[in-house]
Each structure stands twice: as structure tokens, then as C-alpha cells.
Amino acid sequence: MAKNLSGDLQVASANRLVDGTVVWLDEAGQWTDRLQLAAVARDKREAEILLERARVEAFTVVDPFLVAVTEDGDGTIEPLSLREKIRASGLTFEAIAADAVRYA
């Protein structure tokens, strides 16, 4: 089961400067828009290092920060907070489409 009882599992996230896209720092220190490729810090020390790496790479992003996540049996990463879940997966309702004349 997904666990992060002590809040130790963290990923680093930011918004891409050029277009605002939500991104996470991967193992190679690159910003990816795929949460599942995010580097996971497993304790406080790793988290500090991860945030430091994120800040070093901050030239192309805005305000990197740490996000608490869970990781289940097969390594699927899921943010703990609703806000970060929404950041990762988008709107929780269907937005009206460009050519819609009525809401779906």
C-alpha cells in the first residue's frame, strides 16, 4: 500500500518558465512533465539535496519546491495533497471545449 507516514518521500516540482507547465525534477536533474519520472527523495537529507539540485537547475523554471508523495508497490508516485494531485492531473471536471455550444 502507498505509504508516506512521516512525510519523508518528496519530489521536487516547479512551473516551467516559458509556458507555465507543471514539471518535476528527474534523476538526471532535468525537468520533466511526467510525474512518474520524478526523482524521489526518501529521507530528510535526500530531500534537502533534491531541493538544492532543483534550485541549481532553476534557470528554466519558476520557484521550485518540494512535494510530499506516496509510492505504492509498483512504484507509482502520487502526491499526498489534493492541491498537488490537481497540479499533477489537471482539472477535476471537464472544461468546455473550444467549439462546444453547450456544456458537455
Partner 1 sequence: MRCAMPDTHFYRYDAYDRTLVSERVEQFRDQVRRRLAGELTEEQFKPLRLHNGLYLQLHAYMLRIAIPYGTLSSRQLRKLADISRRFDRGYGHFTTRQNLQLNWIRLEDAPDALAALAEVDMHAMQTSGNCIRNVTADHYAGAAIDEIEDPRIWAEIVRQWSTLHPEFTFLPRKFKIAITGSPNDRAAVRVHDIGLRLWRNAQGEVGFEVIVGGGLGRTPMIGKTLREFLPRDELLAYLESTLRVYNRYGRRDNLYKARIKILVHEVGVEKIRDEVEAEYAATRDGALRLPAGAIEAIARQFAPPDLQPRAATSGLVEARRLTDPDFALWLKSNVAPHRVPGYAIVTASLKPAGSPPGDASATQMEGIADIAEAYSQAELRVSHEQNLILPHVAVEDLPQVYRSLEVLGFAEANVGKITDIIACPGLDYCALANARSIPVAQRISNHFASLARQHEIGDLKVKISGCINACGHHHVGHIGILGVDKNGVELYQISLGGDVDFGRTAIGTILGPAVTADKVVEAVDAVVRTYLAARAEGERFVDTYRRIGAQPFKENVYGSL
DSSP 57: T
Beta carbon nearer to partner 1, 64 or 77? 64
Cα(83)–Cα(88) distance, integer angstroms:
9
The residues that bridge with 79 in the sheet, in sequence order, are: 69
Query: What three-state secondary structure class fits 60?
Result: helix
Site string for partner 1, 35-74 (x = CB under 8 A): ------------------------x--xx-----------
Shortest CB 15 distance to partner 1, Å = 6
For partner 1, the binding residues (CB under 8 A) are 15, 17-22, 59, 62-63, 80-83, 86-87, 90-93, 95-103
